[in-house]
Amino acid sequence: MLRIDDLHVYYGEIHALKGVGLEVCRGEIVALLGNNGAGKTTTLKTISGLLSPRRGHITLEERSLAGVAAHDVVLRGVAHVPEGRRIFNRLTVRENLTMGAYLRTDDGIEPDLERVFTLFPRLKERIGQVAGTLSGGEQQMLAIGRALMASPRLLLLDEPSMGLAPVLVEQIFATIREINQQGTTILLVEQNAAMALEIAHRGYVLETGVIALTGSAAELGENADVRRAYLGE
């Protein structure tokens, strides 16, 4: 579904991604692991058109994303849940969700709204509440729900567990798995490697802008270097 080849991305003179290559097949959850500064967020931003690569190729369903504007990437079927949630704090829950569907003209918006409320019943309870007054966990639910309102075939998730209590982390990851089972392909960036590998099919380890390891989730979970660096063993 998604293929990245020899991707090089710079911030000024800083070489952030150094020939990154990866694939995401339809129906998968693929985890992208790595320490802070490894280039995980840069990878997602480049896929979604927020950054331009200096070299390399990104193809979605065999169509190039080269030079495609961010809003057109959404129209191609990609939605991005950014690190830190980035919800519209002064808008209500309903208004945030409606903003997720701003490019849509089809008649599936209301059914998708109900889908979000089924996945996250708490949001339905808070539908008229100003988003900035929600708890951290509720804001993360809202950020994911807003992305789903774009009706994506590929969902990019950047650190969905950041700052959440353990019980909420489990809830969020259970919902991510459910979203995938409903047919949405997912590329997941996550510091909580144990949880990510628990729900992922495959994974990549990114180190200072280079893919250092790849394999099935089980293989990465058993790798001594991964266990030492990311699983605290």
Residue 165 has pLDDT above 90, yes or no: no
Q: For position 214, what pLDDT does the model report?
A: 95
- How do residues 112-149 score in pLDDT, each as one tens digit? 999 999 999 999 999 999 999 999 889 999 999 999 99
pLDDT grade for 232, boundaries at 50, 70 and 90: low
Are the beta carbons of 145 and 97 closer than 8 angstroms? yes
| pLDDT given for residue 96 in this prediction | 93
> 230 falls in which pLDDT band (50, 70, 90)?
confident
Q: Write down the domain spans for the chain.
A: 2-230
Which residues are CB-contacts of 3 (< 8 A; sequence separation ≥ 6)? 22, 23, 24, 57, 58, 59
Contact yes or no for 96/88 (Cβ under 8 A)? yes
Q: How far apart (Å, rounded) are the C-alpha atoms in residues 201 and 66?
A: 27
Q: Pick the more confident residue, 53 or 37.
A: 53
Closest C-alpha among 215, 150, 203 to residue 34? 203
Question: What gap in Å lies between CA 227 and CA 193, rounded to an integer?
Answer: 9
Does 104 score more than 80 pLDDT? yes
Whole-number pLDDT of residue 98: 92
**Mean pLDDT (the chain, rounded):** 93
Secondary structure tally for the chain: helices H, strands E: 10, 10
CA distance 143 to 93: 10
pLDDT at 46 over 60: yes
**2-230 belongs to which homologous superfamily?**
P-loop containing nucleotide triphosphate hydrolases (3.40.50.300)
How does pLDDT run across 168-221, given as a tens digit for each residue? Answer: 889 999 999 999 999 999 999 998 898 999 999 999 999 999 999 999 999 999
Assess whether pLDDT exceeds 60 at residue 67.
Answer: yes
The tens digit of pLDDT for each residue in 5-29 reads 999 999 999 999 999 999 999 999 9
CA–CA gap between residue 122 and residue 164 (Å, rounded): 16
C-alpha distances (whole Å) from 4 to each of 42, 56, 64, 98 are 13, 8, 10, 31
Burial class (CB in 10 A: 0-12, 13-18, 19+), 49: buried
Judge residue 63's burial from the number of C-beta atoms within 10 Å of its C-beta, 0-12 exposed, 13-18 middle, 19 or more buried. exposed
Mean pLDDT across 66-84: 94
